[in-house]
């Protein structure tokens, strides 16, 4: 995907270090402001002034006089990345499929990609279900939710709507919103396959247009990520932690701790082990090089915003062939949501415990299946996973008053969890890309093993 991170290893390493420093400083500054908020009181005039100056969401109701400097800077950065998501996904897939002339090869890559998505998601779901169910049976999730005011969430829907939404009813509508990326993937595949079978392929104007658009995207992302990335990461993380209260976290401490532990376990132990067993590659090289993608995904809480960096890291540092990366990673961003699946299983069991529902072994399997389907239809945007969670709750019938209140707690405190979820989703896509590339003989292992 071009030289998003610079032209040499030193530039890549420098940016990775800057991102890590920005993440650490952002969390520390955010925690300091969180303590200030608790000491002063969220309703005090002093904290209101600080919040209005630095952290306030200026689009919220009643915030017409707020400055929200950290909010504005963070949102400008995220929006600058999101504005190219649809054209980047479309052009990447069209160019990748057009480059693959053999239909049999394209079929193999597609099958292997879906297979690896199912493997990583299946292991993630099994881990979350087993561990979560153990804590559920132990009564850890039987937390009092009294005193938490309800807030608006989402209405439930049939998870199979994900299948219907693959094919858009209007091609222009699919290109107009970022939460319709699955439709964009479908359109790109149809266009590219039609170009191949018609024989025009690389000679078509569409192919040349996609090449030029791709080059423009690369230059734009190179500038945005390299120049503004670390500063934006600092501001995004500072604001996230500064605006949190302790009350919600205490009410759902069991959910937060267990979900965080499972996500971290799968991120730093599960993926490396899967990669080592499935590909016989050195997992430590992978961890070292993918870490900046983890930091970026955690900071932005958006798989879509992290896609450009993930593409660059896979092609330039992990040795994945550009054709494979351009196909697997955009597809993974839309349907491969390992972290989201883990979060949704644990959250559902937490809500069931709070609301007094009995979860049978059969219902646990049903929760896993619904989580797999619902997570595949989750938009690659901040906070989407917690909203889609209500689809699972309605699917298994956990909708009494206590369940709805517990659900609002998840909506209120899920931002840090969603940040970690995003990191997992992006790393899972990378694992699949590496595995598919190696199985096709399209992984440069010398580049993968190079440390420097």
| Contact indicator for 300, 86 with CB cutoff of 8 Å | no
Q: Which CATH number fits domain 9-449: 1.10.3860.10, 1.10.260.40, 3.30.1280.10, 3.40.30.10?
A: 1.10.3860.10
pLDDT at position 178, please?
64
Query: How is the chain split into domains, by residue range?
Result: 9-449
| Contact indicator for 391, 343 with CB cutoff of 8 Å | no
Alpha-carbon span 234 to 245, nearest angstrom: 20
pLDDT at position 346, please?
94
Closest CA to 304 of 180, 411, 207, 187: 180
Alpha-carbon span 227 to 107, nearest angstrom: 39
List phi, psi (to 5°) of 163.
-65, -45
pLDDT at position 290, please?
94
| Contact indicator for 342, 263 with CB cutoff of 8 Å | yes
What are the tens digits of pLDDT across the range 193-221? 888 888 776 778 888 898 898 888 878 87
Q: What's the average pLDDT block by block, 10 residues per block, for the chain (452 residues)?
A: 46 73 88 88 88 87 86 86 81 81 79 93 95 91 54 49 77 75 82 82 82 86 82 87 68 85 95 94 93 89 84 92 89 86 92 87 88 70 66 81 79 80 94 95 92 68
**Which residues lie below 8 Å from residue 343, measured CB to CB, with a gap of 6+?**
259, 263, 385, 386, 389, 414, 417, 418, 421
What region, left, alpha or beta, does residue 17 occupy, with left being phi > 0 and alpha being psi -120 to 50 degrees?
alpha
List phi, psi (to 5°) of 170.
-145, 120
Q: Which two tokens stand for residue 326?
A: 């351009």
Q: Which residue has the tokens 């798989």?
A: 303
**Which residues lie below 8 Å from residue 413, measured CB to CB, with a gap of 6+?**
244, 248, 249, 251, 252, 256
pLDDT at position 215, please?
86
pLDDT at position 147, please?
44
Alpha-carbon span 382 to 205, nearest angstrom: 36
pLDDT at position 153, please?
40
pLDDT at position 182, please?
73
Backbone CA torsion sign across 156, 161, 166, 172: negative
């Amino acid at each position: 995907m071009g030289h998003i991170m610079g032209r040499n290893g030193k530039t890549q390493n420098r940016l990775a270090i800057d991102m890590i420093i920005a993440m650490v400083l952002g969390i520390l500054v955010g925690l300091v402001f969180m303590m200030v908020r608790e000491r002063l009181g969220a309703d005090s005039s002093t904290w209101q002034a600080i919040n209005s100056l630095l952290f306030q969401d200026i689009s919220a109701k009643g915030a017409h006089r707020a400055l929200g400097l950290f909010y504005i800077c963070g949102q400008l950065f995220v929006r600058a990345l999101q504005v190219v998501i649809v054209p980047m996904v479309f052009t990447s897939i069209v160019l990748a499929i057009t480059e693959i002339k053999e239909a049999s090869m394209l079929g193999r890559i597609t099958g292997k990609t879906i297979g690896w998505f199912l493997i990583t998601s299946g292991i993630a779901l099994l881990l979350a279900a087993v561990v979560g169910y153990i804590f559920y049976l132990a009564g850890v999730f039987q937390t009092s939710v009294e005193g938490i005011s309800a807030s608006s969430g989402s209405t439930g829907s049939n998870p199979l709507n994900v299948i219907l939404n693959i094919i858009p009813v209007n091609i222009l509508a699919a290109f107009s919103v970022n939460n319709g990326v699955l439709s964009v993937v479908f359109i790109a595949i149809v266009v590219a396959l039609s170009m191949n079978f018609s024989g025009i392929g690389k000679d078509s104007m569409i192919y040349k247009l996609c090449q030029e658009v791709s080059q423009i995207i690369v230059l734009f992302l190179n500038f945005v990520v390299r120049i503004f990335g670390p500063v934006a990461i600092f501001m995004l993380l500072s604001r996230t932690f500064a605006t949190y209260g302790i009350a919600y976290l205490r009410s759902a401490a069991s959910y937060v701790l267990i979900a965080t532990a499972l996500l971290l376990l799968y991120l730093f132990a599960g993926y490396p082990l899967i990669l080592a067993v499935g590909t016989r590659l050195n997992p430590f090289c992978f961890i070292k090089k993918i870490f900046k993608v983890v930091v970026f995904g955690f900071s932005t809480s958006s798989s879509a915003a992290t896609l450009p960096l993930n593409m660059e890291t896979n092609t330039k540092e992990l040795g994945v062939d550009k054709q494979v990366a351009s196909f697997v990673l955009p597809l993974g961003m839309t349907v491969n949501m390992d972290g989201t699946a883990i979060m949704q299983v644990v959250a559902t069991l937490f809500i069931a415990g709070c609301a007094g529902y009995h979860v049978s072994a059969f219902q646990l399997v049903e929760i896993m299946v619904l989580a797999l389907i619902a997570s595949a239809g989750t938009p690659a945007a901040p906070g989407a996973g917690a909203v889609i969670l209500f689809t699972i709750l309605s699917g298994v019938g956990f909708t009494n008053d206590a369940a709805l209140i517990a659900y609002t707690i998840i909506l209120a405190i899920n931002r840090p969890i969603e940040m970690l979820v995003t990191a997992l989703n992006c790393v899972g896509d990378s694992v699949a890309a590496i595995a598919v590339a190696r199985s096709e003989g399209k992984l440069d292992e010398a580049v993968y093993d190079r440390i420097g």
